[in-house]
Amino acid sequence: MKDEKASNLKTEKKEEKNKKSKRKNIWPVIVLFLTLALSFIFSLICELVMGNAPLAVAYILIVFIILLSVVFDMIGTAAASCDIQPFLSMSARKVKGAKTAVKLVKNAEKVSSVCADIIGDICGIISGACGAAIVIKQFADGTSIIISVLFSAFIAALTVFGKSLGKSYAMTNSNKIIYMVARVLSVFKKN
């Protein structure tokens, strides 16, 4: 009887492990299609805005994209370095957003991948493309390679600077950031 229970338990654990393994194998495919969809949407929005917009709007769009990249990178870093214990305690007390925070921390690998890698990298690429569009617009009579390279370098430096500040803040305030994100996400969640 005990051997049969132990055997059933081992079989159940193996099946559960196989299910998790299959989910991990499909994650890169999900990332591929998610990146493709988000890149398309972000690029389309930028093209529509940059098309006939004045240069001031284009500059504002670049700053917004860089800030978006920094914020999502912070969320990804916070998810990867967050402690789950406070959220488990809050969840037991039924604090709003705590269950969502627990899910975010339990899925830290995916949250970090989506926020930091997918959204952060897409924003970085699109901000560079927007910078190139601004250079072409502003210097249409004869775009200088030096100006284009300097502008791209400035955008890259600003992005990396913002992300480095954001990462250090996210590492020291990870629980606060994840709880804030969880509170925002819990607004959209059905009770």
Contacting residues for 154 by C-beta, under 8 A, at least 6 apart: 131
Q: Return the DSSP state at 116.
A: I
Contacting residues for 170 by C-beta, under 8 A, at least 6 apart: 73, 74, 75, 77, 78, 81, 177
How far, in Å, CA of 11 to CA of 181, rounded?
38
pLDDT in tens, 56-73: 888 888 899 999 999 999
How far, in Å, CA of 63 to CA of 56, rounded?
11
pLDDT in tens, 91-133: 899 888 899 999 999 999 899 988 988 888 888 888 888 887 7
Query: Does the structure show a pLDDT above 80 at 47?
Result: no
Contact 105, 138 (CB under 8 A): no
Q: What is the mean predicted confidence (pLDDT) over 160-185?
A: 93
Alpha carbon distance, N-terminus to C-terminus of the chain: 43
Neighbouring CB atoms inside 10 A of 29's CB total 9
How far, in Å, CA of 191 to CA of 185, rounded?
12
pTM for the model stands at 0.77
* Per-residue pLDDT band at 16 (split at 50, 70, 90): low
Hey, where are the domains in the chain? Answer: 2-187
Contact 157, 164 (CB under 8 A): no
Query: Does the structure show a pLDDT above 70 at 157?
Result: yes
> What length is written for the chain?
191
- Which tokens in the block code for residue 135? 């250079």
The pLDDT score that the predictor gives to residue 50 is: 73
